[in-house]
Structure 1
Amino acid sequence: MKLIISLLATASISCFANTTVIYNVNGYTPTYQGQTQQFSTLVFKDGKVVKTGDDSLKASFPDATTIDGKKATLLPGLIDAHGHIIGLGNNLSQLDVRNTQSVDMVGKMLAEFAKDKQGWIIGRGWNQEHWPGGQFPTAADLDKYVKDKPVVLSRVDGHAVWVNSKAMALAGITAQTDTPSGGEIIKLPSGQPSGVFIDKAETLVTQHIPKTDHASINRALDNAGNHLLSLGITSAHDAGIDYDTWQVYKQRAEHNNLPVRIVAMLSAGDPKLETMLKAGRYKDMNDMLSIGSVKVYADGALGSRGAALINEYADRKNHHGLMLETQEKLEQLFTLSFSHGFSANTHAIGDQANKTVLDAYENVFKKSGGILLRNRIEHAQIVSPNDIPRFKALKIIPSMQPVHATSDMHMAEQRLNETQLTGAYAWKTFLSQGSIIAAGSDFPVELADPFDGLYSAITRMDHNQLPEGGWRPEELLSRDEALRAFTLGGAYAAHQEFKVGSLEQGKWADFILINKDYYTAPLADVHAIKVQQTWLAGELKYTLEDEN
């Protein structure tokens, strides 16, 4: 196998090398002023952009290392503003049942996976909406395949777990087990727990899974980092880290060996939250790690009917979802975060959750300030049209994942009525009022590939180009708007718009070379764009191998 671009065989270019010129490229970059600029030559030195321009620029740097880009399209490194890095790294080595079409398909994969495994069997990715009948599975469905080892399989959205009887027995769960506030234990007609636990009820089982150590966190980080670089992601916002991950990230930053840039949010649910807050905000000199926000959960997810809705679910009478925190508790968490100089990034999917979170932000801003911290609502998925303008008024950044719309569209039409759908996945409406969208994928809930997200943003269709014209096409984004959301939008949300997100003078030279022109490729081809090279701070970090 040979490297796709052999021109780099001459030497490895380090972050702090001589000036480097990449010429003969089809380059695009958004700019802070708003326009997208085209260029054919990129000059960088000491890991930062010196200049972009046409190929005549090369003559101005006669002593530079020169690289012929061979007309490849060059874009800024992409930023995923909402993912779960350690979860992704773990997922790459755990049982993945993402695309299963039935309970039995999951069972057969589980039986094969568990053959040489000891202890707890962990997996992720099931979605009952893709199975005949669309019903939640049961512990008995797993017992048929594995009954002597505890099994815990997370739903694709991470807001429910499906476990076998062994796991429930080890956790001491019976018909008498109390349901925690903000959670739900799905019951069988007999009153026994079925084996599915939603939102805060998950911890009834998951607290018994052996704790991971620093070595396993480091392995997951490296696995995730390599995967993200292969997809053209140079910066990822990690939506909720625990104390051990906080320690590992800081250790890695101090040794300058983080695989990608990380913007980490502290988990509000971690018992050591205040310890982390008291340590203060963190940023290393190379902008590889930034810690300055707290991830708060307000509700559950739509797929498990945990998203908190103002009106009942269209497919479950008298059910409004789950608020995981009261408004009073949200206000306490915001006040605590702001008092230490940390912003609050709050998960809210349903329209009731979004309204409650906005109310909580507004109250805290009036009492103690914090409005200028670039606070966020993560997902902002189903929002009452009356509440959308409040994002702008309260300076709340909608951190949204375009691929959720194309993954959810059929399920959303079952769960929600037309009124509820009016403010759902409303990217264009947010942009039109002047909100800055920070786009991401929510990996490993969804695949991390940002070109999937870009495709969803500009088409609102699945990979078969359905529905024709896009689902609720009034919310389509232009290619410019979508790319900006995956670059400068994420940078702005992290207070890094003058550091990353575009290839402007003085910013880090984070960029990718791809195999098709994002701006001119047929819409149907955008999701299939492949990354040929990924550069981080002027250093080549990933090269695609030629399959020929």
Structure 2
Amino acid sequence: MSETADLIITGGRIFDGRVRTSDTAVAVRGNKIVRIGTDTEMFELRGQDTRVLDAAGGLIHPGFVDAHIHAASAGAERLSIDLTPATTVDETLDLIRAAAERSDAEWLTGGGWSHDLFPLPTRHQLDAIESDRPVVLSDAGHHTLWVNSRALDIAGLDRHTPDPHNGMIYRDDDGDPIGYLNETATELVGRFVPPASTEEIHAGILNAQGYLWSLGVTGWHEAILGDYNSQADCTPGYVRAIADGTLRSDVSGALWIPPGLTAPDVPKLVARFAELRRRNAAAGFATSTAKAMIDGVPHGGTAALLEPYCNHSHDGSTGGLHFTEDAVRAFVTQLDAAGFALHLHVMGDRGIRVALDAIEEARATNGTGPRHHIAHLSMVHPQDARRFGPLGVTANIQGLWAAPDAFAATMIGEERMLQGYPFRTMADAGADLAMGSDWPVSSADPWLAIHVTVNRWSPEPIPESSGERAGSVDTLDAEHQSLTLTQALGAYTSGSTSLVLGRPGRVQVGERADLAVATTDPFGLEPSAIATVRNAATVVRGELVFVRE
């Protein structure tokens, strides 16, 4: 008689990571999948202690793996001042006020505020809530800070403080800082914020893990390991969570390349990263990836473009790179030779071209190497979109962003906005696909991202705005840039798992039992209804860790 299963999931349809199959059930023993087939075949493995979960017609699929996420900081924000739930100006200010009233911390920190609601936030708004203690709040994109007067005073910022390279201190008509800082200017205040302790980071990681399980996310790639803005390096928190067994999801991470690195300093950085990789691997934490932000973001006018911005306040500007092109070529080539995969944040079309040129040079110099990936992809010239496949560069997609964006249209023009996120062009040219959320920059719910990737419109309402908005933008070029449901779901499961965790991420006998069950089978729905799908259950290493009530 065959050994019994520990867990049986029946009554569903299986997506194996690449295709939807005719199978309806899966059996798990320990942390492995031991059988796939019909309900009847699975019940042959049922024993006295076997747990049976009825999928109730839902889709059984590999657990989602988020290929670009800031889980540690997101979890910490959820435990501090979390502004992401706010949909109005008043709701945002009320959340800050409530946090100030309940907290006795010397510094009030958090983030998640929306540029749609606060296109130009000021210190005066925060001073009205808290003037005695410094307040430092990151935007949802984590490229800007909103601070009060006390924080500016502590940092010594005044009308005489010059803007740093690739950063801006926004000022009033008299030249005084208004409390709004972007890109490298955030570091002027961020360096004074007390760093989170390992205990706080550990708590944030576990908070994030529980939340991600509720969404069917069983693993992820932490996109920044290192000191970044006002955030402490989260590596010690991960090492502790691995050591004490509380981190049960499969996680890898990317070592942070600070902006402004020069070509002569690259050999020293490579040597340091090699030692960190060795040390982290000994602790059970895979960090064979290096992360760099090649440019900024279109919303702040800091993404590097081939043609100028349209917004009058950035008239004639094409943004800028966070490194010289020589430095980009140097660190890409040398890290590639040392076996590091490059995880590159790029938002502008010029930034994409510089990144691809550097990878092409590394391939010519070193031959076949690690799987590099470029995240975000908001602006890609058509010629460059077709280079991903031949160069072996994975498109690391943040699908939720591929919806109409009226604010972006004011910055880069509607035509360029409509041509953004060219997923189909990249896929048709042979690019491998992975998906991630960039949470807490945007929602961590994979089904929302998949909906937008397939439909090219957002199911979520646009938040109330306190500033001028661009005219209505109703459609994107969905006919030739959307992905199929199979492509999108595959990217968020086996595509991401293969890229950042180095294993197949499939529903197959012998594979690790990291699984999720959806509330319905999306393949039986109209594409416009994909956003109604929710996660019903999550299995990590063979253990049922979440069941929707």
The question of a shared fold, defined as TM-score above 0.5 by the shorter chain, is answered with yes
Alpha carbons 1:281, 1:342 under 8 Å: kept:
no
Q: Which of 393, 396, 403 does residue 396 from structure 1 map onto? A: 393
What runs of 5+ residues in structure 1 fail to find an aligned partner? 1-16
- Choose from 368, 374, 377 the match for 1:377: 374
Could you say which residue in structure 2 is the equivalent of 1:259? Answer: 248
1:82 positional shift: 0.8
Name the structure 2 match of 1:294.
290
Any idea what the Cα deviations from partners look like across 1:306-359, whole Å, max 9, x if unmatched? 211111111231122232122122223224423432111110001111111112
Say if 2:491 is the partner of 1:492: no
Shift of 1:104: 5.3
- Alignment partner of 2:14 out of 22, 28, 43: 28
2-structure distance, mates of 1:326, 1:20: 55
- Which SS does the other structure have where 1:344 is aligned? strand
Shift of 1:99: 5.4
Contact 1:293 1:337 in 2 (8 A): no
CA contact (8 A) 1:49 1:509 kept: yes
- Displacement of 1:168: 0.6
Query: For residues 91 and 524 of structure 1, do their structure 2 counterparts lie closer, same or farther at Cα, with a shift above 3 Å needed?
Result: farther
Query: For the structure 1 residues 321 and 55, does the alpha-carbon distance in structure 2 shift closer, same or farther, using more than 3 Å as the test?
Result: same
Deviations 1:217-268 (A, max 9, x none): 1100110000000111001111111274223323433444313211211111
Q: 1:449 aligns to what?
A: 445
Q: CA deviation at 1:23?
A: 4.8
| Contact 1:261 1:289 survives alignment (8 Å) | no
Distance 2:55 2:121 in 1: 52
Q: Is the 8 A contact 2:199 2:237 kept in 1?
A: no
CA contact (8 A) 2:376 2:396 kept: yes
SS of 2:331's equivalent?
helix
Name the aligned partner's letter for residue 56 of structure 2. K
- Determine which of 402, 426, 445 is the counterpart of 1:405: 402
Residue 186 of structure 1 aligns to a residue whose secondary structure is strand
Contact 1:293/1:342 (CA < 8 Å) preserved in 2?
Answer: yes
Structure 2 residue aligned with 1:195:
179
Cα distance in 1 for partners of 2:207, 2:461 equals 32
Q: CA–CA distance in 1 between the matches of 2:385 and 2:116? A: 29
Question: Which residue of the partner structure matches residue 435 of structure 1?
Answer: 431
Per the normalisation by structure 1, the TM-score is: 0.87
Residue 515 of structure 1 deviates from its aligned partner by 1.9
Deviates more, 1:440-449 or 1:17-26: 17-26
Aligned length: 519
- In the alignment, structure 1 residue 112 sits paired with structure 2 residue 68: no
Give the stretch that moved more between structures: 356-365 or 381-390: 356-365
State the 1:20 CA deviation: 3.4
- Greater mean deviation of Cα atoms: 328-337 or 64-73: 64-73
Give the Å deviation of 1:283: 8.4
Aligned to 2:510: 506
Following TM superposition, by how much is the alpha carbon of 1:430 offset from its aligned partner in structure 2, in angstroms? 1.3
Cα pair distance change 1:410/1:257, threshold 3 Å = same
Map Cα deviations across residues 373-406 of structure 1 (whole Å, 9 max, x no partner). 0001111221111211221222111111010122
Q: State which of 87, 94, 110 in structure 2 corresponds to 1:123.
A: 110
Q: 1:174 maps to which residue?
A: 158
The Cα of 1:62 is off from its aligned counterpart by 6.1
| Alignment match of 2:213 (pick from 200, 213, 229) | 229
Identity of aligned residues (%): 25
Amino acid in structure 1 at the alignment position of 2:197:
D
Q: Is this contact kept in 2: 1:280–1:340, CA < 8 A?
A: no
Partner in structure 2 of residue 533 of structure 1: 537
Deviation of 1:439 (Å): 0.8
Match of 1:3 in 2: none
Q: Distance in 2 between matches of 1:336 and 1:63?
A: 55
Checking the alignment, whether the CA contact within 8 Å between 1:89 and 1:220 is kept in structure 2 is yes
Matched residues in 2 for 1:510 and 1:68: separation?
Answer: 15
1:58 to 42, 46, 53: 42
Structure 1's 542 and 348: CA in aligned 2 closer, same or farther, altered over 3 A? same
Partner of 2:307: 311
1:367 aligns with 2:371: no
Aligned partner of residue 167 in structure 1, secondary structure: helix
Give the equivalent residue in structure 1 for 2:239.
250
Please give the secondary structure, in 2, of the residue aligned with 1:107. Answer: helix
Distance 2:115 2:43 in 1: 60
Question: Who is 1:69 aligned against?
Answer: 54
User: Contact (CA 8 Å) 2:36, 2:42: kept in 1 or not?
Assistant: no
Q: Is the 8 A contact 2:336 2:369 kept in 1?
A: no
- Aligned equivalents of 1:66 and 1:543: distance in 2? 13
Classify the secondary structure of the residue corresponding to 1:533.
strand
The counterpart of 2:277, out of the listed 274, 280, 291, is: 280
Cα distance in 2 between the residues matched to 1:491 and 1:537: 14
Matched-pair contact (CA < 8 Å) for 1:381–1:400: no
The answer (yes or no) to whether the contact 2:386–2:425 under 8 Å persists in 1 is no
Q: How does 1:7-22 map to 2 (within 5 A)?
A: 19-20=5-6, 22=8
The normalised TM-score by structure 2 is 0.87
The answer to whether the 8 Å contact 1:292/1:343 transfers is yes
Q: Which amino acid aligns with 1:237?
A: H
Q: What is the alpha-carbon distance in structure 2 between the residues aligned to residue 268 and residue 319 of structure 1? A: 25
- Secondary structure of 1:280's aligned partner: helix
Whether contact under 8 Å (2:387, 2:429) holds in the other structure is no
Aligned partner of 2:468 in structure 1 is none
Kept in 2, the 8 Å contact 1:268–1:333? The answer is no
Distance 1:18 1:302, change over 3 A: farther
Q: Cα 1:66–1:111, aligned 2, differ >3 Å: closer, same or farther? A: closer
Contact 2:239 2:280 in 1 (8 A): no
- For residue 335 of structure 2, what is the aligned residue in structure 1? 337
Deviation at 1:444, TM superposition (A): 0.3
RMSD: 2.8
- Give the unaligned 5+ runs of structure 2: 228-232, 262-267, 463-471
Q: Name the CA shift for 1:181/1:464 in 2 (closer, same or farther; >3 Å).
A: closer
Return closer, same or farther for 1:50/1:395 CA change in 2, 3 Å cut-off.
same
Equivalent residues of 1:22, 1:42 under 8 A apart: yes
Maintained 8 Å contact 2:4/2:45: no
Kindly state the Cα deviation for residue 116 of structure 1 after the two structures are TM-superposed. 2.9
CA offset at residue 450 of structure 1? 1.0
**Whole-angstrom CA distance in 2 between matches of 1:257 and 1:345:** 27
Report deviation, 1:487: 0.5
Cα distance, 1:144 vs. partner? 2.2
Say if 1:453 and 1:97 are closer, same or farther in 2 by CA, change over 3 A. same
Do structure 1's residue 515 and structure 2's residue 519 form an aligned pair?
yes
| Pair 284,538 (structure 1): closer, same or farther in 2 beyond 3 Å | farther
Quote how far apart the aligned CAs of 1:18 are. Answer: 5.4
Instruction: Work out the CA distance in 2 between the residues paired with 1:177 and 1:365.
Output: 43
The code of the aligned residue for 1:126 comes to: W
Amino acid at match of 1:519: F
Match of 2:257 among 247, 268, 279: 268
Q: Assess if the C-alpha contact under 8 Å between 1:461 and 1:468 holds in 2.
A: no
Structure 2 CA distance for aligned equivalents of residues 325 and 534 of structure 1: 41
Tell me if structure 2 keeps the 8 A contact 1:98–1:156. yes
Report the 3-state secondary structure (helix = DSSP H, G, I; strand = E; otherwise coil) of the residue aligned with 1:424.
Answer: coil
Shift of 1:411: 2.0
